[in-house]
Structure 1
Amino acid sequence: MDESFTDPQDNHNAPADHDGPLLEGEATLSFELRRPFYMPEYHWHQQIEVNILYQGTLTYTFNHTDVLIESGQLALFWAVTPHRVRKTSDDALMGIINIPLNMFLSWPLPQEFVQQIMNGGAISATHADVISFAENQRWMATYREGHQIRNQIVQEEIFLMLRRLCSYNYDVEMFSFMRDTALHHTHYTGYKNVQLILDYIANHHNQDIKVEDIAAHVKLHPKYAMSLFKNMLSVSIRQYLIIMRINHAKVLLSNTRHPIKNIAIHSGFKYPSSFFAAFKSHTGMTPQAFRAQSQQQKTA
């Protein structure tokens, strides 16, 4: 195994804790390969975090609950969940992939998997059949080159890595991404309301709901609910609702022969025309083209 990795001393020890909105500098895919280090405080950020432990052990703490990650395992979670490394062995070596939330939500991954992640799930699995050390190194080196086409290929390969992960058995532990009251975080109520909004959208996105319905469910004024959600997640309630509906439609397009107009309605779009416009804007292709591409990938 190549021992070239980022030394923790080059990272100025643990990352700085956040206080307030989580989103600055988190819009691009990023990679690390380094020794994990003890974090005295919780931290959180908006990205989907993938940790691959190549050797050694480490113990993560999610809101006061310990999770042991051993050599040969990967862990994946939405990093708005407060987390810190509580313990690590001297020989631990870890690959880290931070996936922007919008990128993750744009991929046609199984709906159950996406909802588990978006509702506070920490996925763990054996990584040997999912991602290799050599792949991790190649992705990191390629992204440093900044070549647009090759970067796009890396993004597609990471999507396929997650699809591969979903095809295997994996474990999931559910955590609240709310800051526990014991953390004395001033935004506790705001995060609690955002989680309630996410839960409601996860369970009702394929129905004819509006922002007003979502705000009423959490007993907030619609304008305040929209401002709170956008400030904390850097995506509007409407955008997130559309993303969830389009992902629902992608699954149906890939795995059923239902007419596209029916899929639009079953995904929560009131009018097929609004579905076609949103799908094309979000994915860059029509629903018909997406279905044809999915069928080609299955037969390739």
Structure 2
Amino acid sequence: MTSTTHASFPPKQDESVPAHPDYDPRHPLVVFGDHRFCAGESVEVRRMPGPHMHSQIELNFVLEGAMTYWFDGRELTVDAGRLCLFWGMVPHQVIEVQHATRFVCLYVPMSVFLGLPALSPFRDAVFRGAVIEATHLTPWDRDIFLRWREELLSNDAALTDIVRNELTARVLRIQRDGWHDLRADASAIPAIAPQDAARIDHVERMLRFIAERAHDPISAEDVAAATTLHPNYAMGLFRRTVGHTINQAITRHRLDTARSLLISTDRTVAEIVFGAGFGSSSRFYEAFEQRFGESPGAFRQRMRRGS
């Protein structure tokens, strides 16, 4: 499945990934990428008709102009010469674009970040929903990002491996040279233990399973079964790495899906409850108000007044 509404968001879809039942081509609310290194096909930034999510880490290097994101309830503007990255599973939407704004958009598998223990504060901020901005750029970053984009779009496996190594090194330099959270509210979670580093692929499988199946009645045991590990070990590894339990991750994803649907569709709250994967309206209302501090109806009204 490929969204034709905005070519640069997201990359082409892997046909092996099941479509979300609430997917509407006019409102690409929840879109799952193909989990590989890839690049946005267009350098032109366009407004998005609704918020969406995808599984990879997204890097945006703005070449010219300026773009404003709605990101997890906040508006953040990034202009020319700035480099930002964030986890695509946090709902986001380009809501304003200055004329002739161009950028390079790269998508990086979450395993790259989970597999870098030296980046634990940085990685943890990303998975907490931070929008990371590099505070030190080089004169050659522009040319390098353009080259990475061209090489990833070439679908050359050898070049992709080179880009993987070079981009991983660039991410390491962001951590070393300086970064900050544009939301200014990053918080750390426990760093992954060295002995768990080899198990990162299992964490990625569990995160991917949640992203693709949270609208179904899944349990923590179902998520753990996506790995070859003992269920108890898998659940513990997930919590140590991501910072919350599998059940909390499932609920968070369902709430993010529901919030996206509240913003960009006219579906009733009852329809959204079950479309997002909640089996109980009372449980949905309780979880929504606990996380966002207001009822679903009040949230929808406030967002529509703001728009």
Q: TM-score range by the shorter chain?
A: 0.5 to 0.7
Closer, same or farther in 2 for the Cα pair 1:136/1:129, shift >3 Å? Answer: same
CA displacement, residues 201-242 of structure 1 (integer Å, 9 cap, x when unaligned):
x43854999xxxxxxxxxxxxx822435788xxxx9956865
* Mapping 1:106-255, distance limit 5 Å: 106-126=115-135, 128-129=137-138, 132-174=141-183, 202-203=189-190, 206=193, 224-227=219-222, 242=237
The DSSP-based 3-state class of the residue aligned with 2:131 is strand
Closer, same or farther in 2 for the Cα pair 1:245/1:37, shift >3 Å? Answer: same
The reply to whether residue 63 of structure 1 matches residue 80 of structure 2 is no
TM-score by length of 1: 0.54
Match of 1:30 among 33, 38, 47: 38
Structure 1 contact 27–100 (Cα < 8 Å) conserved: yes
CA displacement, residues 16-39 of structure 1 (integer Å, 9 cap, x when unaligned):
55667x54x422111125111111
Identity of aligned residues (%): 20
Structure 1 contact 106–243 (Cα < 8 Å) conserved: no
Which amino acid in the other structure matches residue 227 of structure 1?
A: D
Closer, same or farther in 2 for the Cα pair 1:237/1:51, shift >3 Å? Answer: farther
Structure 2 contact 133–181 (Cα < 8 Å) conserved: yes
Tell which deviates more after alignment, 166-175 or 86-95: 166-175
Matches of 1:19 and 1:86, distance apart in 2: 14
Matches of 1:207 and 1:139, distance apart in 2: 31
1:174 deviates by 4.9
Closer, same or farther in 2 for the Cα pair 1:131/1:83, shift >3 Å? Answer: farther
Structure 1 unmatched runs, 5+: 1-7, 177-198, 210-222, 248-300
Larger Rg: 1
Matches of 2:224 and 2:181, distance apart in 1: 26
Structure 1 contact 119–174 (Cα < 8 Å) conserved: no
- Matched with 2:101 is 92
TM-score by length of 2: 0.53
Structure 2 unmatched runs, 5+: 11-24, 197-217, 243-307
* Mapping 1:8-23, distance limit 5 Å: 11=6, 16=25, 17=27, 23=32
